Structure 1
Amino acid sequence: SLVRKCLCREEWNRTKPCADVREEAKLISGLLITLNSFAQQMGPPKTMGFMSYSTPQYKMHSFETATGYRFVLTTDPGVPDQHDCLKQIYADLFVEHVIKNPMYQIGEDVSKCTAFTTKLQSFLQTRPFFAMLMSS
């Protein structure tokens, strides 16, 4: 069976701190698996799963690669779809600074790839939704 594991987790501008990071990761993983399955069952043939969903408190954006990596971004509910942003994180940051890093072992926490975490932070801070959060 497929093992799912959180390889990287970052927080910016979160209003309520997470009490149990591991439990939250398990809940999000289960939710994503369920939503993906639902989207594939209810959608037209070749549906790739869901890209985002909203609640009054937040919006969760998701992108899953063909190789099974899933990138998730949780934002304010008013933020537009970030699917392209997540694809760019995968292609320009994750592949370049994690996958191509000879020191990285597949499945390890990516915090050891400091170039990735630094560039991820810089990249997200340039997004319009990030500036919107900082000004509120």
Structure 2
Amino acid sequence: MTIYSLYIFDRHCTCVYYQDWHRTKRPKPAVEGSILPAVSQVISPVAISDTATVNASTFNNSPRNTLSSSTGIVIATNESVARSTPPLPPPSSTTLVQQQQGASSAGLPFDEEAKLVYGVVLSLRNMVKKLSGRDESFTSYRTSTYRLHLYETISGYKFVMLTDPKTDYLRFVLRQIYAGPFIEYVVRNPLVKMDSKEYGIDNEYFRTSVDRLVRGLSVFA
């Protein structure tokens, strides 16, 4: 049993926080402008100007052909080496992806992944209310590969955790994250702009506290 990832969505259906632990495939960085700043450094989009800077610095420092750039494209050529060495075949699309994102990152861009997660939560929550009435609430569901846990606050924030399908009910853990680190380092922090539609809540103290709480669970392996 283990814990994969944690998402926090605000009342505007926007992902304001993300953290993962045992994911075998990291999500790709989001497209620039598609997510709020300061959601997570892992999935922060890279601006085109930043990519150009990386390419330029590698071009100036590399003495021969290289595929070590973040884009996975040949960005430097040494003419003397190229004349004495037979030309190499162009890299395959798989090589380009691995150079750009790493071999362990083969999922959707994070903005698309977050929309899918929220869409599933919203659809199942509405279905439960229509079938069972307002007294019932959607809190969890299980598939053959993962289990989703949901805790929704009165203010409209939704805490979503993905775990191993054999993991027990962890809604109480999400409530602990809300009542503890979230209240202490986000709600009571005057430097965090709540409900601003401009920034996420990637507060260093909040992230560290969440990580410590999750790693201390018996189901964390």
Tell me what 2:148 maps to. 60
Structure 1 counterpart of 2:186, from 98, 101, 107: 98
Matches for 1:67-78 after TM superposition, within 5 Å: 67-78=155-166
Distance, in Å, in 1 between the alignment partners of 2:175 and 2:164 is 19
Distance, in Å, in 2 between the alignment partners of 1:127 and 1:67 is 27
Tell me what 1:25 maps to. 114
Distance, in Å, in 1 between the alignment partners of 2:141 and 2:173 is 16
TM-score norm. by structure 1 comes to 0.89
Structure 1 counterpart of 2:128, from 39, 52, 56: 39
Tell me what 2:99 maps to. none
Q: Which amino acid counterpart does residue 86 of structure 1 have in structure 2?
A: L
RMSD: 1.2
Tell me what 2:15 maps to. 6
Secondary structure of the residue aligned to 2:15 is coil
Tell me what 2:220 maps to. 130
Tell me what 2:200 maps to. 109
Q: Which of the pair has the greater relative contact order for Cα pairs under 8 Å at 6+ separation?
A: 2
Aligned length: 128
Tell me what 1:79 maps to. 167
Distance, in Å, in 1 between the alignment partners of 2:157 and 2:134 is 22
Q: Which amino acid counterpart does residue 20 of structure 2 have in structure 1?
A: E
Tell me what 2:209 maps to. 119
Residue 17 of structure 1: CA displacement?
2.5
Alignment deviations for residues 79-119 of structure 1 (CA, whole Å, 9 cap, x no partner): 000011000100011011101001000133111x2110000
Unpaired stretches in structure 1, ≥5 consecutive residues: 132-136
Larger radius of gyration: 2
Distance, in Å, in 1 between the alignment partners of 2:162 and 2:22 is 11
Determine what percentage of the aligned residue pairs are the same residue: 32
Distance, in Å, in 1 between the alignment partners of 2:192 and 2:142 is 34
Distance, in Å, in 2 between the alignment partners of 1:126 and 1:6 is 25
Distance, in Å, in 2 between the alignment partners of 1:16 and 1:54 is 20
Secondary structure of the residue aligned to 1:129 is coil
Q: Which amino acid counterpart does residue 167 of structure 2 have in structure 1?
A: V
Distance, in Å, in 2 between the alignment partners of 1:71 and 1:109 is 14
Distance, in Å, in 2 between the alignment partners of 1:10 and 1:87 is 16
Q: Which amino acid counterpart does residue 128 of structure 2 have in structure 1?
A: A
